[in-house]
């Protein structure tokens, strides 16, 4: 017992034992979960908005318990690495990062909107407007006589006393349309019909012009050409498209900066062993 070496060994063992006990306690120490007053207020507000009344004490306790359960399970899942290579989790994280980027979007100035409008006039052009009458010719009823019959009707229409409503074949189509957008006309009669209509002279019967229904003799009564509007006429639409374009530009810039932090290696399929 008087041997100094023995005293040293006993002291070392004591220190080792105390360290072991302290280390075990540290390993078993639980994480802290704090349900803040702000979180409780948020849960209460969401409940009230959904059910149009505040929660009862029992319902509030249930929400808090469920929040604690979720927090514990999420922490355990992260500790086990269950978030790794999960497509849904990765997609959600990407969406959150893109959402955070959107919060930095600047508000456009009038000068920026006007410049965007001038750089993209076709996207905001006001559609040409056309008003017209038509006489429908059913190809099944006229057959090989179509050109001859159409010419005869056009000749009759050149006489002032001729009533256009007395000519042509029966159809459920209206006999004409008031001023309507060229695109809208194309949706009803077909894009080719709308193009021919836009080229037709005003005030004179011409044709026949084909549509998805058959053939038509047409008379344009009024035409308003398309035009690029002033900014005040389409401010909301320009602001929306400017924002979309600016967002895409900023996303590309941010991603380019992030990409500089990484070394990306892409393996060739030729380097992989393909199992038969």
Domain boundaries, the chain: 1-30, 32-84, 86-126+230-276, 127-224
Q: Please report the DSSP string for 195-231 in residue order.
A: HHHHHSPBTSEEEEEE-SS-EEEEEEEEEE--BPPPG
pLDDT in tens, 73-87: 888 888 888 888 888
Res 22 pLDDT > 60: no
pLDDT at 49: 92
CATH number for the domain formed by residue range(s) 127-224: 3.10.50.40
Section 41-54 average pLDDT: 92
Q: Give me the pLDDT at residue 104, please.
A: 65
Q: How many CB atoms lie within 10 A of CB 271?
A: 6
d(CA 111, CA 231): 10
Q: How confident is the model at residue 26 (pLDDT cuts 50, 70, 90)?
A: very low
Q: Count CA atoms closer than 13 A to 134's CA, side-chain side.
A: 30
Mean pLDDT of 217-227: 89
Please state the rounded mean pLDDT for residues 172-187: 87
């Amino acid at each position: 017992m008087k041997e100094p070496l023995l005293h040293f060994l006993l002291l070392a063992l004591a220190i080792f034992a105390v360290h072991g006990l302290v280390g075990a306690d540290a390993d078993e120490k639980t994480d802290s979960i704090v349900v803040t007053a702000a979180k409780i207020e948020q849960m209460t507000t969401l409940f009230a908005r959904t059910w149009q009344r505040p929660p009862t004490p029992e319902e509030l306790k249930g929400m808090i318990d469920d929040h604690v359960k979720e927090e514990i399970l999420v922490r355990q899942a992260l500790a086990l690495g269950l978030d790794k290579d999960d497509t849904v989790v990765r997609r959600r994280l990407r969406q959150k990062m893109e959402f955070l980027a959107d919060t930095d979007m600047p508000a456009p100035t009038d000068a920026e909107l006007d410049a965007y409008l001038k750089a993209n006039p076709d996207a905001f052009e006001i559609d040409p407007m056309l008003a017209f009458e038509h006489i429908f010719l059913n190809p099944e009823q006229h057959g090989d006589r179509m050109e001859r019959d159409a010419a005869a009707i056009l000749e009759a229409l050149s006489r002032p006393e001729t009533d256009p409503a007395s000519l042509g074949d029966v159809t459920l189509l209206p006999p004409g349309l008031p001023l309507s957008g060229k695109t809208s006309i194309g949706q009803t009669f077909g894009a080719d019909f709308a193009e021919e209509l836009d080229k037709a002279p005003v005030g004179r019967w011409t044709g026949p012009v084909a549509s998805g229904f058959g053939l038509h003799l047409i008379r344009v009564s009024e035409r308003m050409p398309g035009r690029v509007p002033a900014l005040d006429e389409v401010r909301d639409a320009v602001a929306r498209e400017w924002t979309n374009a600016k967002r895409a530009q900023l996303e590309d810039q941010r991603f380019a900066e992030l990409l500089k932090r990484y070394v990306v290696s892409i393996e060739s399929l030729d380097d992989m062993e393909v199992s038969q």
